[in-house]
């Protein structure tokens, strides 16, 4: 054989074997495999394409203008180190490419040291605000004797934060007031962050734009059961409200995720609200304003210990349609003691996730992800 064709064949052989080596090393864990699986319309582990926004806008190279959005953090001066850590992580994993602003709120003034250190790690503008007293303290009309009895009972039952008034103030503020703060009012979308949370994967897309483009209202990463002792009368009031205001109930809502008996009882499933990406025009709507005012008038934020998580979740479940709720599978997130880590190997690799998928909370016994899958028709 003349030398040129032999050379050509040798090259060809190298190219072909190279291709095999590549596809072999990609294997089930490879990017190419999982992308092509999705492109072919196959579902991986029964997770639909809708769960992979990163694929629709790879690495968000489209240079679209930012959404009308901000991060919102409620923190005390004593949370300084943990706030710096949370901001630093969300910067490294996402915001360094977007420079969204931060609004950080406190029930007292921030120290100069706090502002200096948080601003040093943020790539977007940071505003520091105080929560107005009337949005924070226990209202005058609450019967203090009854509230004390309620707290004592939860302490006796060993319920976490059972005796804390400031925790209750915070839950009521997060339920009904944060989106009315003058610094927050300038924005439509928010991403809630708390001190000492962790972001385990690169977020290679813009979740705000993702939600805006798809008319989404509420995004979450972890869903679980609420402690029944903190909300003994909540669902009764929710049912009364629905009877009073049928006009607010969305068609095709997600009530079926929260009740296993057609709305009679609450199965206690809720979205863990320390992470939220949501549309504040939903909280500012007449439906939610009526709902919050109604619940607040019952005093359960103080007589019991209603959390903003069940209050937000139930509202999202009733006043939004189920396809307006978004499970952000690809956002690896941790708030002690629970972690959400993407299970899909391609997604995990694309996100350069630092978490262990085997330890993801998703299908833990205390998680409501199974109910979510079943309700959304994914199980
Ligand atoms: C952002 O949203 C807020 C609240 O809906 C609105 O008041 C403001 O005008 C919006 N800003 C822009 C630039 O669209």
Count of domains forming the chain = 2
What pLDDT band is residue 64 in, cutting at 50, 70 and 90?
Answer: confident
Q: Does 5 or 122 have the greater pLDDT score?
A: 122
Is 302 a member of any domain? yes
Closest approach atom of ligand 1 to CA 281: 5
What pLDDT band is residue 6 in, cutting at 50, 70 and 90?
Answer: low
Is 305 a member of any domain? yes
User: CA angle 221-324-347, nearest 5°?
Assistant: 40
Contacts for 259 with CB less than 8 Å, ≥ 6 apart:
265, 266, 267
Q: What is the pLDDT of residues 250-282, one digit of tens each?
A: 999 999 999 999 999 999 999 999 999 999 999
Q: Average of pLDDT values for 98-125?
A: 98
Closest approach atom of ligand 1 to CA 186: 3
To the nearest whole percent, how much of the chain has pLDDT over 70? 83
> What's the gap in Å between 69 CA and the centre of ligand 1?
9
Query: Has residue 95 got a pLDDT over 60?
Result: yes
Q: Confirm or reject: Cβ of 284 under 6 Å from ligand 1.
A: no
Closest approach atom of ligand 1 to CA 284: 5
User: For tokens 């520091």, what's the residue?
Assistant: 128
Calculated CA dihedral for residues 354, 201, 94, 176, nearest 10 degrees: -110
For ligand 1, atom 1, the nearest C-alpha belongs to: 187
Is 139 a member of any domain? yes
Query: Has residue 318 got a pLDDT over 90?
Result: yes
Q: Are residues 243 and 327 in the same domain?
A: yes
Q: Are residues 216 and 298 in the same domain?
A: yes
The pTM of the full predicted model, rounded to 2 decimals, is 0.85
> What's the gap in Å between 188 CA and the centre of ligand 1?
6
Q: Are residues 35 and 123 in the same domain?
A: no
Q: Are residues 262 and 218 in the same domain?
A: yes
Q: Does 114 or 54 have the greater pLDDT score?
A: 114
Q: Are residues 27 and 97 in the same domain?
A: no
User: For residue 132, what is the domain's CATH number?
Assistant: 3.90.550.10
Q: What is the pLDDT of residues 208-254, one digit of tens each?
A: 999 999 999 999 999 999 999 999 999 999 999 999 999 999 999 99
Is 75 a member of any domain? yes
Q: What is the DSSP string of 114-147?
A: HHHHHHHH-SS-EEEEE--GGGTSPPTTS-HHHH
Q: Residue ranges of the alpha helices (H) in 192-344?
A: 207-213, 234-244, 255-258, 280-283, 286-297, 300-303, 308-319
Q: Confirm or reject: Cβ of 188 under 6 Å from ligand 1.
A: yes
Q: Are residues 204 and 257 in the same domain?
A: yes
**For residue 40, what pLDDT is reported?**
33
What pLDDT band is residue 78 in, cutting at 50, 70 and 90?
Answer: very high
Q: Are residues 255 and 130 in the same domain?
A: yes
Q: Are residues 85 and 41 in the same domain?
A: no
Q: Are residues 88 and 20 in the same domain?
A: no
For ligand 1, atom 5, the nearest C-alpha belongs to: 188
Nearest partner of 217 among 279, 259, 264, 287, judged by Cα: 279
Is residue 276 annotated as part of the catalytic site, yes or no? Answer: yes
Distance between CA atoms of residues 316 and 250, nearest Å: 10
- Domain residues for the domain of 21 are 4-48
Q: Are residues 164 and 234 in the same domain?
A: yes
Is 58 a member of any domain? no
Q: Which of 89, 91, 226, 276 is catalytic?
A: 276
Distance between CA atoms of residues 146 and 140, nearest Å: 13
Q: Confirm or reject: Cβ of 301 under 6 Å from ligand 1.
A: no
Q: Are residues 32 and 90 in the same domain?
A: no
Among 188, 208, 209, 284, name the best residue to mutate to test ligand 1's pocket (greatest count of ligand atoms within 8 A of Cβ): 188
Is 57 a member of any domain? no
**For residue 62, what pLDDT is reported?**
56
């Amino acid at each position: 054989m003349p030398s040129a064709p032999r050379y050509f064949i040798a090259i060809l052989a190298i190219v072909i074997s190279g291709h095999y080596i590549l596809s072999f090393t990609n294997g089930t864990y490879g990017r190419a495999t999982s992308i092509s699986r999705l492109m072919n319309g196959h579902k991986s582990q029964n997770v639909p394409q809708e769960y992979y926004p990163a694929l629709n806008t790879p690495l968000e190279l489209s240079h679209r203008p930012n959404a009308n959005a901000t991060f919102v953090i409620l923190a005390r001066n004593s949370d300084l180190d943990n706030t710096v850590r949370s901001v630093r992580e969300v910067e490294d994993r996402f915001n360094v490419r977007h420079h969204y602003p931060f609004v950080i709120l406190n029930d007292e003034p921030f120290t100069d040291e706090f502002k200096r250190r948080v601003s040093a790690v943020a790539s977007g503008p940071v505003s520091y605000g105080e929560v107005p007293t009337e949005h924070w303290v226990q209202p005058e009309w609450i019967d203090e004797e009854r509230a004390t009895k309620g707290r004592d009972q939860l302490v006796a039952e060993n319920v976490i934060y059972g005796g804390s008034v400031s925790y209750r103030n915070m839950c009521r503020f997060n339920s009904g007031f944060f989106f009315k703060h003058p610094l927050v009012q300038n924005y439509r979308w928010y991403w809630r962050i708390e001190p000492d949370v962790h972001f385990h994967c690169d977020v290679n897309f813009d979740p705000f734009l993702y939600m805006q483009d798809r008319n989404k209202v509420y995004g979450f990463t972890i869903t679980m059961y609420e402690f029944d002792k903190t909300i003994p009368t909540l669902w009764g009031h929710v049912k009364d409200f629905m009877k009073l205001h049928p006009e607010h109930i969305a068609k095709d809502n997600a009530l079926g995720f929260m009740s296993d008996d057609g709305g009679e009882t609450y199965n206690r499933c809720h979205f863990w609200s320390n992470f939220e990406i949501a549309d504040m025009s939903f909280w500012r709507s007449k439906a939610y304003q009526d709902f919050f005012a109604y619940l607040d008038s019952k005093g359960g934020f103080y007589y019991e210990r209603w959390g903003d998580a069940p209050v937000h979740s139930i509202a999202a479940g009733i006043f939004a349609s189920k396809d307006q709720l978004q499970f952000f599978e690809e956002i690896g997130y941790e708030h002690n003691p629970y972690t959400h880590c993407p299970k899909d190997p391609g997604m995990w690799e694309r996100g350069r996730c630092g978490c262990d998928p085997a330890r993801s909370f998703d299908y833990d016994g205390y998680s409501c992800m199974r109910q979510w899958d079943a309700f959304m028709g994914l199980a």
